[in-house]
Amino acid sequence: MKLKTCLLSLFVLFSFTVTAQDKIYKTDGKIIDAKVKSVGNSIITYLRFDNLDGPSYSIQKNEVVKIVYQNGIVDNFDKHGTKAKIKKRFGDNILTFIPASYLVSIIDETIKDPGIGFCYERLLDENGHISFVLPVSINFSQTSDFNNNYYGYNNYTTDKSYNSWMLMPGVKFYPAKATQKVRYAFGVSLFTLLGAEPYWAYDNSASNTSGDWHYTMYGIMISNSINVSITNHFYMEMDFNGGFPFSDNRYKDRSSLESLVSPLMQFALKAGCRF
């Protein structure tokens, strides 16, 4: 029993001594097992691990590549002896093209518009958990937008092309660190939608059915996205967004349920570069 206890004590002591040492990696390839006492502006002071009660030693920092401490922390040094900045796996700037998007109003279905656009995103913190995002898109209005059964516009036709511009600055939150290749993000944005439509779409009782009505829409959008860094620089993203307008002056008559401000949904596919 005493022998087993003695052997167990020796094993625990050996395990501790193996893992409790610091390692100094020199530029010439040699590794020093040590107990680092201090890291100064130009000198590293240490004790030899096989003689912890012995004298202190010193080494120039420009002779050291890195120190791996017993707790797993690593200090990297450049050729001048200063702590080297560790290069991130992926960049903090993301610039993407939006080749396909689709915007739809849920209740009245007066917006069912495909679109294209661009987006810039900037990661704001060291671990990439928070970012600022600025997408800009153009949506191509469909004829069905102005001939919806809710409003009785079936007697009108137009040969003119209409579109709207959407600006949606916001903030995204990533639960996972920026070093991950695939990350989920959620966010919140304020959007502005600027567009035009035939005047009779604004006022279906108007006697003058020619001309355009220019409208604005403001609101808040909640975003959900899957973000993939395929390589260090090639990036893709899929967005599924839902929001509610605070203001929408597209229509003069809002007496019925169908003509109330309608929630929006948006899908967007993005591809671009990360730098």
Q: Which CATH fold would you assign to the domain 20-86?
A: SH3 type barrels. (2.30.30)
Cβ count within 10 A of residue 27 = 12
pLDDT tens column, 174-224: 998 787 889 999 999 999 999 888 777 777 666 555 678 888 999 999 999
Higher pLDDT, 76 or 2: 76
Domain extents in the chain? 20-86, 93-274
CB burial class (10 A; 0-12, 13-18, 19+) of residue 169? middle
Say whether pLDDT at 94 is over 70.
yes
pLDDT one-digit tens code per residue, 63-90? 998 998 887 788 888 776 666 555 556 7
* Beta strand 64-68 pairing with 264-274: unpaired
To the nearest whole percent, how much of the chain has pLDDT over 70?
A: 76
Q: Residue 83 has what DSSP assignment?
A: B
The C-alpha angle 237, 242, 246, rounded to 5 degrees, equals 135
The answer to whether the beta carbons of residues 174 and 131 sit under 8 Å apart is: yes
- The reply to whether CATH 1.20.120.530 applies to domain 93-274 is no
Residue 264, pLDDT above cutoff 90 = yes
Query: How much is the average pLDDT of 135-160?
Result: 68
Average per-residue pLDDT for the chain = 82
Give the span between the Cα atoms of 223 and 181, in whole angstroms: 20
Vertex 228: Cα angle to 224 and 231 (nearest 5): 160
